[in-house]
Amino acid sequence: MAARIGARMRELRLEKKMSLAQLAKASGLSKGHVSNLENGLAVMSVGTICAAAGALGVPPFLLCMREEDEPFAECFDNLLHEEGGDVGRAAERLRELFFGKPPRRGRGPG
């Protein structure tokens, strides 16, 4: 799993035309650690996945997706583009697509 997540990190980093050093700085991780992660040579904590995802501008679950989940990832990528790169709004739209409209906020029972 670590190798797959690392490969996905590298793929996204290259898509965004980020250097290893830029990803390291943006995520707060060392350049050597990011290299080890991308090459599947280090175990990742949830915090590390979240830091890398934040630096790449994607939600953490996107790094953890399997090959068979690619249509789901493509859907999210399209939503992210439609929302002008706003990860929060894209994630909200994705939740709406999968689970229906969220409950109305600020209204209690009865």
Summarised one tens digit per residue, pLDDT across range 20-34 is: 999 999 999 999 999
Q: What is the mean pLDDT of the chain?
A: 85
| Buried b or exposed e, range 23-54, using 16+ CB within 10 angstroms | bbebbebeeebbbbbbeeebebeeebbebbbe
Summarised one tens digit per residue, pLDDT across range 46-60 is: 999 999 999 998 888
- Residue 55, amino acid: A
User: Residue 109 has what pLDDT?
Assistant: 47
User: Residue 110 has what pLDDT?
Assistant: 42
The better pLDDT of the pair 106, 86 is held by: 86
User: Residue 108 has what pLDDT?
Assistant: 45
- Residue 17, amino acid: K
User: Residue 25 has what pLDDT?
Assistant: 97
